[in-house]
Structure 1
Amino acid sequence: MKGNCYIQGMAAISPQLTFEGDIFSAPLIHTDSNLLACIEPDYKPFIPGNSLRRMTRVLKIGLTAALRCIQDSGLDTPGPIVTGTGKGSLQDTEKFIKEIVEYKETALNPTPFIQSTYNSVNGLIALQQKCTAYNNTFVHRGFSFENALLDSMMLIQEGASHTLTGAFEEITAEHFYIKSRIGFWKETPVNSAELYQHLSPGTIAGEGATFFALTGSPSPHTYAAISGFKMLYKPAPGKLTATLKDFSAGADLIITGRNGDSHHEHFYEELDSCYLGVPQVPFKHLCGEYDTAGAFGVWLAAQIIKAQQLPQQWFPQLQPLSAPVNSILFYNHFYGEQHVMLRLERV
C-alpha cells in the first residue's frame, strides 16, 4: 500500500492501564491464569445509563474506546467508521444460542441476537455521533483489523479527510475453554510477565478495543505516520524473509507479535536474521493473543514513536532507548497464516 496516512488520535481499552493516565508510569498488570481480561473504565461519562444496562461488555468497550479516540483527535465528527473484529460479541452470541435451547425456539429475546452481529459496535458509534457517513466492519480472522486499516487508507487517498478506524474483541469462559481444547492456549499456567521465557505450544488469551483517528495530512498533534503496509497470507518458504528484507530497511525499532508459542517461533527467527542488532519489543505479554491484537501493537508503536521512550515498567528486560526512533517496523502474524508488516515514521 503506497501513500501516507497519519494517526491523529488514539484510544485503547486493554488488560493494561491504557485508557487513562500516563502509560509510561503505569505498572505492568500480569496474571497466571493464561487469560488477560480488559480493565474496564468508568463508562458513565461516555454512555447514558439507560443504554448502559442493555449493553454487553464488547459493546461497552468498543463504543467507549471509539468516543475517547474522537475526543483525543480533536475532530468534530468521526467521518467514515471502519472496524475489524474476528469474533464480534461472543457474550451475546452465546446467550442467544443458549436461549434457543432453553425456550425451544419460542419467546426469544431479540436483543442478544441484534447485538451479536459483527457491526453492532459501528452502529452504536454512528447512532451516538449522528454519523451517516460510510460505515463498514471487516471480519477476516487475523486480517480483520488490517483490512479495516487498508480500507481506511484507500478512503483517505480517495479524498476522505479522516476516518475512525479500530478493532474490538472479547473472550468468554466458554470460548476460552473451546480454544483450550484445540491447543490455542498453554497447558500449564504461565505468568504473563514471563511469557517469552516459557517457549512451548500455545500462548495466553487476551481481548481489547483499540481505535485510531486517521487523517490525510499531519498536524502538531499527530502521533505517527503509517508509511508502509504489507499483508501476506500463508507465505511460501523464503517469501516472508524476502519481504521483510525489502520492506523496512533502516528501522530503528521493531515491534513484534511474539507470543511464546513454540509452533510459530521460526517466523520471528526469520525476522531476527533480517534485522540483526535492531532492538525488538514484543507486546503480547501486555494484551494476550486474539484476532485483532495487531491493533494494540500499532497503538503501542505510535505511543513509543511519539514519546521517544519505552514504557520501561512494561519491558524491564530491555534497555531504555538510546537513539532517536524515526522509523518502527511492526510485524505480527495470526497462527502462522495471516502476516502483516507496517512501517510507522516519526512526524
Structure 2
Amino acid sequence: MKGRFYIQGTAAISPQESFSGEFTPQLLTLADKNLLRVKEPDYRAFIAPNSLRRMSRVLKMGLTTAIRCLQNSGVAVPDAIITGTGKGSLHDTERFLHDIRRYSETALNPTPFIQSTYNSVNGLVALQVQCTEYNNTFVHRGFSFEHALLDAMMLLSEGRAGNVLAGAFDEMSDEYFYIRSRIGSWKEQLTQPEEMFTAGTPGALSGEGSAFFVLSSTPSDVHIAGLKMLYKPSQERVHETLEAFLRQHGLQPSDIGLLISGRSGDTNFDHYYHALTAQYFPQTPEVPFKQLCGEYDTAASFALWLAVERMRKEELRHVLIYNQFFGEQHTFILLGR
C-alpha cells in the first residue's frame, strides 16, 4: 500500500512511561519472569467509576488509549474505528472458561464472556464518543495491527473517511505466559532487557501494550508512506521485497535516517535482522524497540508510536520499521515527512 496517510495524533500505554509527560526510553528491571508489564495510568480521568469497576484490564487500557489519542488529535468523533488484537481480553476468556468448569455450566456470569470478544474495545470506544460509523476489528496474530492499519489507509485513499482511529491492544495473562513458555516463545532463564542481545539464547521477552493513532488525509508533520506484509518468507524474499519496497517510493537504503527493528534477542529468528542490517543498513542508526516493550502480537503498534515520537523530536526525513513475529509474519512500514 502506497500513499500519504497523515498522523494527527497518537497515544500509547506500554511498559515505558509513554502515556503522559515527556517520553524517555528506559530499560526496565525484571523481578521474577521475562515479562514487561505495562505501566497503567489513572483510568478514573477517562472512565466513569461505575463503568470502571466492571471493566477488565485490557478494556481499560484500550479505551483509555483511544480516548487520549482522540484528545491529542483534536478529533471528537472519528469517521471510523479500526483495531487489531492478537488475543483480545485473555483474562476475561480465562475467567469464563474457569467458571464453566467451576459451576458445571450453570449460573454463569455473562459479563466475562461479553467482554472477552475481540471487538469489545471497539464497541466501548464507539459508545464513549457516540460514533456510529465503520467499526472493525482484525485478529490475525502478528498481522493484526498491520491489517487494521491497511484498512484505515484504504478507507482514506477511497475517500470514504476523513479521519480514522486505528490502533491495537494486547495483554499477557499468567496462564498464557506459561503456555507460550512451554513451546519456547520466551527465554527460560530470567533475562534483563539490557542483557537480551548478549544472552545468546532462544526465546524473547514477553510484553503487552496498547497504541492508537488518528490517520487523516489532512497534511501534518509525519505521514505513513507505505506498508508491506510478507508471510513465512525466506531470507532472500525479505531482501527482495525490501529493495522493491524502497524502489517503489524512490528511495535507497541510504535515505533511511533511522531503522526501528523488532530484534528481540531470540536466536531462532534474529538472523533476519542481522542479515538485513548488514547488507542494507550498516551505517544506519537502529532502535530495537522490543527491548522497551517486549514481544507480543501487536508490538508493531508500539514501534509505530515510537517512530512518530522520534520523527517529531529529530530531523528525520524517512524512518523504516521492520518487524517479524516468530518467523511467520514480516512487515515493513515506511514513514516520511
Regarding TM over 0.5, the answer is yes
Contact kept, 8 Å, 2:87 with 2:118, in 1: the verdict is yes
Aligned to 1:281: 287
C-alpha distance in structure 1 between counterparts of 2:51 and 2:235, whole Å? 51
Aligned to 2:249: none
C-alpha distance in structure 2 between counterparts of 1:186 and 1:236, whole Å? 24
| 3-state SS of paired residue (1:142) | helix
| 3-state SS of paired residue (1:244) | helix
C-alpha distance in structure 2 between counterparts of 1:71 and 1:182, whole Å? 41
Q: How does 1:283-302 map to 2 (within 5 A)?
A: 283-302=289-308
C-alpha distance in structure 2 between counterparts of 1:333 and 1:48, whole Å? 38
Aligned to 1:21: 21
The alpha-carbon deviation at position 23 of structure 1 amounts to 0.5
C-alpha distance in structure 2 between counterparts of 1:27 and 1:244, whole Å? 30
| 1:252 correspondence with 2:260 | no
C-alpha distance in structure 2 between counterparts of 1:104 and 1:169, whole Å? 29
Aligned to 2:332, which of 318, 341, 345?
A: 341
Aligned to 2:192: 191
Q: How does 1:255-266 map to 2 (within 5 A)?
A: 255-266=260-271
Aligned to 1:332: 323
Aligned to 2:227, which of 226, 229, 234?
A: 229
Give me the CA root mean square deviation: 1.1
Contact kept, 8 Å, 1:244 with 1:271, in 2: the verdict is no
Contact kept, 8 Å, 1:245 with 1:274, in 2: the verdict is no
C-alpha distance in structure 1 between counterparts of 2:259 and 2:26, whole Å? 22
**Structure 2 regions of 5+ residues with no counterpart?**
247-251
Contact kept, 8 Å, 2:235 with 2:272, in 1: the verdict is no
C-alpha distance in structure 1 between counterparts of 2:218 and 2:145, whole Å? 22
| 1:118 correspondence with 2:124 | no
The alpha-carbon deviation at position 62 of structure 1 amounts to 0.3
Contact kept, 8 Å, 2:9 with 2:213, in 1: the verdict is yes
C-alpha distance in structure 1 between counterparts of 2:274 and 2:36, whole Å? 26
C-alpha distance in structure 1 between counterparts of 2:81 and 2:328, whole Å? 27
**Structure 1 regions of 5+ residues with no counterpart?**
309-323
Deviates more, 1:131-140 or 1:264-273: 264-273
The alpha-carbon deviation at position 27 of structure 1 amounts to 4.6
1:190 maps to amino acid: T
Q: How does 1:134-173 map to 2 (within 5 A)?
A: 134-159=134-159, 160-173=161-174
1:230 maps to amino acid: K
C-alpha distance in structure 2 between counterparts of 1:42 and 1:237, whole Å? 44
The alpha-carbon deviation at position 199 of structure 1 amounts to 2.5
The alpha-carbon deviation at position 237 of structure 1 amounts to 4.5
Contact kept, 8 Å, 1:37 with 1:207, in 2: the verdict is yes
> Paired residues, what number?
327
Aligned to 2:274: 269
C-alpha distance in structure 2 between counterparts of 1:82 and 1:198, whole Å? 38
Contact kept, 8 Å, 1:162 with 1:214, in 2: the verdict is yes
The alpha-carbon deviation at position 235 of structure 1 amounts to 1.2
| 1:63 correspondence with 2:63 | yes
Aligned to 1:84: 84
The alpha-carbon deviation at position 28 of structure 1 amounts to 4.0
Deviates more, 1:185-194 or 1:242-251: 242-251
| 1:35 correspondence with 2:35 | yes
Alpha-carbon deviations, 1:284-308, whole Å to 9, x = none?
A: 0111100000000010011001110
2:230 maps to amino acid: L
C-alpha distance in structure 1 between counterparts of 2:29 and 2:264, whole Å? 14
C-alpha distance in structure 2 between counterparts of 1:174 and 1:2, whole Å? 40
Identity of paired residues, percent? 56
1:64 maps to amino acid: T
Aligned to 1:242: 240
Alpha-carbon deviations, 1:95-131, whole Å to 9, x = none?
A: 0000000000011000000000000000000011111
Contact kept, 8 Å, 2:138 with 2:147, in 1: the verdict is yes
Contact kept, 8 Å, 2:258 with 2:285, in 1: the verdict is yes
Alpha-carbon deviations, 1:52-95, whole Å to 9, x = none?
A: 00000000000000000000001121220000000000000000
Aligned to 1:204: 205
Aligned to 2:313: 307
C-alpha distance in structure 1 between counterparts of 2:199 and 2:241, whole Å? 29
